[in-house]
Every structure is written in C-alpha cells, then in structure tokens.
Amino acid sequence: MLSRVLIGITGGIAAYKVCEVISTLFKQGVEVRVMLTKSAREFITPLSVATLSRHQAYTDEDFWQSTNSRPLHIELGEWADILVIAPLTANTLAKLAYGMADNLLTNTVLASKCPILIAPAMNTDMWEQIAVQRNWQMLLADTRYHGMGTASGLLACDRVGKGRMAEPLEIVTYIQSLLYTQGKRDLLGKRILISTGGTREFLDPVRFIGNPSTGKMGLALAQAALHRGANVTLVYGVADWEAPVEVKAVPVVSAEEMRTAMLGELGNADIIIMSAAVADVKPRDFSTEKLAKKALPESLPLEVVIDIIAEIGNSKQAHQKLIGFAAQTGDIVTPALEKLQRKNLDGIVANPIDKENSGFGSDRNQAIYLDKQGNRLEIPLCSKLEMAHYIFDFLGSSS
C-alpha cells in the first residue's frame, strides 16, 4: 500500500521550496496531495503543485464550493497518513494553537488524526515574539505535532538570523521517519550520544591517515533518534553535511579530539552509539610545516591511537547502553562478536563494506545486529535512515 502525504502550503516566500519536497516524495513512490491557502497562492500556483504531485491541488474554493458527497476536509483528513504544513506562517500557527478553523487547511487539521509535521518560516523578529513562541510551545505540547526548528541565515527581508524554513531534504527525511514510526515518540526524554564519520591523523598540515567514512550512518541515527523524541548529541568528523538544528553538534578532526568530546558528553547520555570510523594508528611524529617530498620518510613510524569505545565500555554506568559498529569484509559476525565481548558492549552492528550499495559513502546499508543477550537481528539492504529505525526498534524491544 502506498504511503499518503497531505501537504498544506501557507503564505510565505519559502513556499517555493515545498515544490522540491513534493517532487522528491512523488519520485519515492509516495502519494501526495496538496492544499494551498489563499495567501499561499500569492507565492506559488495550484498548477505548479498539481503538476508535481500529478493530482489536483486543493484551494479554499474547493472547500466552499465542493460538490462531493462528503465534505472535502473530512475526506482529506481521513485519507492522509501524514499531514505536513510548510511553510508554517505566524498566522496559521496562531490558528492551530487555538483550534481555529476558517479555511480548508485548518478544517482539515481538525478533521484528521494523523501525525502533523510543521516547518515554520518567518522574519527573525516575528519568530522571536513572545506570542509566537507561546503558540509554538502550545502546538508542540500536542503529541500529534512534530516541529522542525528554524535555521539561521539570510532571510528574504535581508535580515540575518533565525527564521529560515528547514531545507527540503530535511523535511523529506522527517516525513520518511514519520511514515516509518507513525509518529511514536518512544525515545522521548532519552539522551543519546552518537559518534560518526572518520578521523584524520596528520603527518603535516596537508597529509593525514584517514578513511572513506562520510558519517552518513551516524547522521541517520541522529535524525531517527531526534524524530522519535530523543535529545541528541552528535560528535562527528569532517563531513559535507550539516546536522539538524535541534541536535547538539560537536565537530572534531582527530581521534583525540573525538575522545575528548565523547568523554565530555558521556555523563549525560543514556545510550551511546559509536558509529564513527576512528583511526587505529597515527603518525608518531607531526611536522608543523609541510614536509618536502624528498623529506618524507621511507617508512612511516606509527603509534596506536587510544581505543575510545573500549575506554567508554570500561567506564559506562549501569543504566547506560553502549552500541558499537563493526565494518567488516568476509565473515562479519565472528569479529563483531569478539569485539562485543572484549569491549564490554551492549550491542554491535556488523555491517559488510564489501557488498554493493552498502558501507562507506553509500546512502544504503545492511547489517546484522547482535547483543550481549545473544539476540540477533538481520537488517536487509535499506536506506540508512530505515536502518537507524531498525536499530532503535531492536534496542527498545530488548530493553
């Protein structure tokens, strides 16, 4: 059965960004229906979203002049698996906070029971108004609503500050999570600490020992945990992506920097997931100036990097769960089980890096999850976000 996403667009300049959300969802095989408020039509046309969604776009004229046997807002509210409102303006935010219903969108909200994803966008001064923040908190207190924070940057009014709507890819990712979880917040109140990405161990200012990790798996874990209600801290190596604004993001470069950051955050965590590809060795000597090619040693003296996950395994508290990753070729289970025992882990994700469309750099992954109780979960080839949800499902079932 196809997933069904109903999108409500309100009157903000960020409305044009929602076209990418609609197009991406359609390409992923999602059924999409779109509603536009009267103000939204000042920024984007019904024809544009109808073309992208391959379905009629609904406006207030359809609401008031509907000749359907059943009211349109009732049909749409019952049809949707997920309702998305983006951009969410201050005006519509206020209506939703107080349960008002004076157009097709707000009536459909009240006639629906599905999870609602809201992505606000407005001028910084508007966003920071006491009344707006009060309305925002009122909505978030309703468990149906899942809010995306506003980002900082250059706004359409030329102001630089908070108020930018979340980017289309972030919205699509959140929708994917909600379609998977149906809006459950089983990690609400949990504090999750995640490491991801590769570390770089420098020989001189331009040369280093590293690996091809992109940190995408850890990012997916952070997104999935956030979407399920957790407070997330993400310690990450050099990456070409940005962490969600709601996540506490700690960028690092070397293994020592990652160790310092992880140990500094450890006391606040309930679940620690070490998905980072941390260096095992580093150059023994570091030159503060670039070495000439002729000055490079014929053999490079190395020294062992401290094992961060083993150190955490030896110092974690009784209430804390520590999950590791084992990127392997060939037999992935035997070395993963050995690592699970030797490093005092509660669980380990063994993933093959020698199979197509999985492992380093890929948007997809597959794995076998093993825990210290002897439980085993085989995760089929899927998106890294879906794999992250598999992991959290398994963690919850084995608690």
3 state SS for 292-322:
CHHHCCCCCCEEECCCHHHHHHHHCCCCCEE
Q: Are 84 and 175 in contact (CB under 8 A)?
A: yes
Which residues belong to the active site?
157
CATH node for 4-181: 3.40.50.1950
Q: Is the pLDDT of residue 48 over 80?
A: yes
Q: Please tell me the predicted confidence (pLDDT) of residue 1.
A: 66
Is 62 labelled as part of a ligand binding site?
no
Local confidence band at 354 (pLDDT 50, 70, 90 cut-offs): confident
Per-residue pLDDT reduced to its tens digit, 64-82: 876 667 899 999 999 999 9
Q: Please tell me the predicted confidence (pLDDT) of residue 398.
A: 64
Is 190 labelled as part of a ligand binding site?
no
Local confidence band at 332 (pLDDT 50, 70, 90 cut-offs): very high
Per-residue pLDDT reduced to its tens digit, 285-327: 999 999 999 999 889 999 999 999 999 999 999 999 999 999 8
Q: Write down the mean pLDDT value for the chain.
A: 94
- What are the domain boundaries of the chain? 4-181, 191-397
Per-residue pLDDT reduced to its tens digit, 220-273: 999 999 999 999 999 999 999 999 999 999 999 999 999 999 999 999 999 999
Is 343 labelled as part of a ligand binding site?
yes
Maximum distance among all alpha carbons in the chain? Answer: 83
Q: Is the pLDDT of residue 53 over 80?
A: yes
Lowest mean pLDDT among 48-52, 159-163, 278-282, 383-387: 159-163
Instruction: Judge if 4-181 and 191-397 fold alike in CATH terms.
Output: yes
CATH node for 191-397: 3.40.50.10300
